[in-house]
Amino acid sequence: MARIVTVGAAQLGPIARLETRAQVVDRMLALMSEAKGNGCDLIVFPELALTTFFPRWYMESQAEIDGFFERAMPGPDTQRLFDAAQRLQLGFYLGYGELAEQGGRTRRFNTAITVDKNGRVIGKYRKIHLPGHAEHEPWRRFQHLEKRYFEVGDLGFPAFHADFGSGRQGILGMAICNDRRWPETYRILGLQAVEMVLIGYNTPVHNPPAPEHDALSHFHNELVMQSGAYQNGTWVVGVAKAGNEEGVEQIGNSIIVAPSGEIVAACTTTGDELAIARCDLDLCASYKNTTFNFARHREPEQYRMIVERKGAVPPA
Ligand code: CDV
């Protein structure tokens, strides 16, 4: 039986700084209902989906910063998402700021979880590639202080099994925003035979250190996810928090990419929107067993020699 999994890319439009978690969860529940009505098995929300993208502001008060983090998952505001998953028999990916008490200290991560249709967390990932800066940089139109507010994720890139029912099992992986620009993200998951990579993001159109890239923001968004999908024979679902959020224009361009590298579904607005695709997980094998048959064609020994040499061959 074909392993067809119907997936919804649940893009969110802007979230205002004063918008409450409860208001955002209401918007997410509306997208979950729509997804269910369209036969979805899984819905993917953006990075830091429960609040505005707070790293755009320099804040000194730890209490204010911590107001953007979740201390429990599910917590009082997010329990409704888990209940809806069970009621609708619909899994979801959710990005959020995680505040964890670990080893006697408080740690903060940019985190994503995947929850199955029984409301059980089946995968957890903490963002590894943190972009931006750690100190206030007043020359920027807006800040990008992920290096200040989060620690580098400590869970690696774990692939995990998901059961969609009716004999449809698959191997999923997660990444968050800037991770999608790095080939290592997909390759590490590819080496674990991943069949679908779920990615939420918040990407401003304007890149303060390199404004010459602004006009290419959609092209680069598609380029990295399409090549990551093709080169690893996997589906990729990339979902934006989009639109003008607190004066910062963010790209939408949420897409679902097939293992061929082709975009098979896309959002066309910068608001709350669902793009849906029927994803045949068996299509991955056509790439994993041929062009990207790692066991047959990868040459890790050769790569190691190049890495150990640390740079180009010295001039003769
Ligand atoms: N949230 C992000 O990781 N955003 C980055 C921006 C700063 C370029 C991104 O790669 O989209």
Per-residue pLDDT of the chain (316 residues; tens, 9 = 90+): 789 999 999 999 999 999 999 999 999 999 999 999 999 999 999 999 999 999 999 999 999 999 999 999 999 999 999 999 999 999 999 999 999 999 999 999 999 999 999 999 999 999 999 999 999 999 999 999 999 999 999 999 999 999 999 999 999 999 999 999 999 999 999 999 999 999 999 999 999 999 999 999 999 999 999 999 999 999 999 999 999 999 999 999 999 999 999 999 999 999 999 999 999 999 999 999 999 999 999 999 999 988 888 888 888 8
Instruction: For residue 124, indicate whether it is catalytic.
Output: no
Ligand 1: centre distance to CA 240 (Å): 11
One-letter identity of residue 1? M
Strand order in the sheet with 42-44: 121-126, 105-115, 91-102, 42-44, 4-11, 273-280
Pairing mode, strands 42-44 and 91-102: parallel
Q: Is 202 in the pocket of ligand 1 (CB under 6 A)?
A: yes
Which H or E run includes 79?
helix 79-88
Residue with tokens 């620009």: 181
131 lines ligand 1 (CB under 6 A): yes
Class in CATH terms, 4-308: alpha beta
Q: Exposure string (b/e) for 178-209, b if CB count within 10 Å is 16 or more?
A: bbbbeeebbbbbbeebbbbbbbbbbbbeebbe
pTM over 0.85: yes
Closest CA to ligand 1's atom 11: 203
Alpha carbon distances (Å) from 46 to 14, 95, 118, 163, 260? 11, 6, 21, 22, 24
* 285 CA to centre of ligand 1 in angstroms: 31
Buried b (16+ CB within 10 A) or exposed e, 121-130: eebbbbbbbb
Spatial CA neighbour of 114 closest among 164, 52, 162: 162
- Sheet holding 255-257: strands in order across? 160-163, 169-176, 196-201, 235-240, 255-257, 263-266
Which pair of structure tokens corresponds to residue 216?
A: 């290419």
Asked if residue 119 lies in contact with residue 86, where contact means CB atoms within 8 angstroms, the answer is yes
Q: What letter represents residue 217's amino acid?
A: S
Answer yes or no: are the C-beta atoms of 156 and 188 closer than 8 Å. Answer: yes
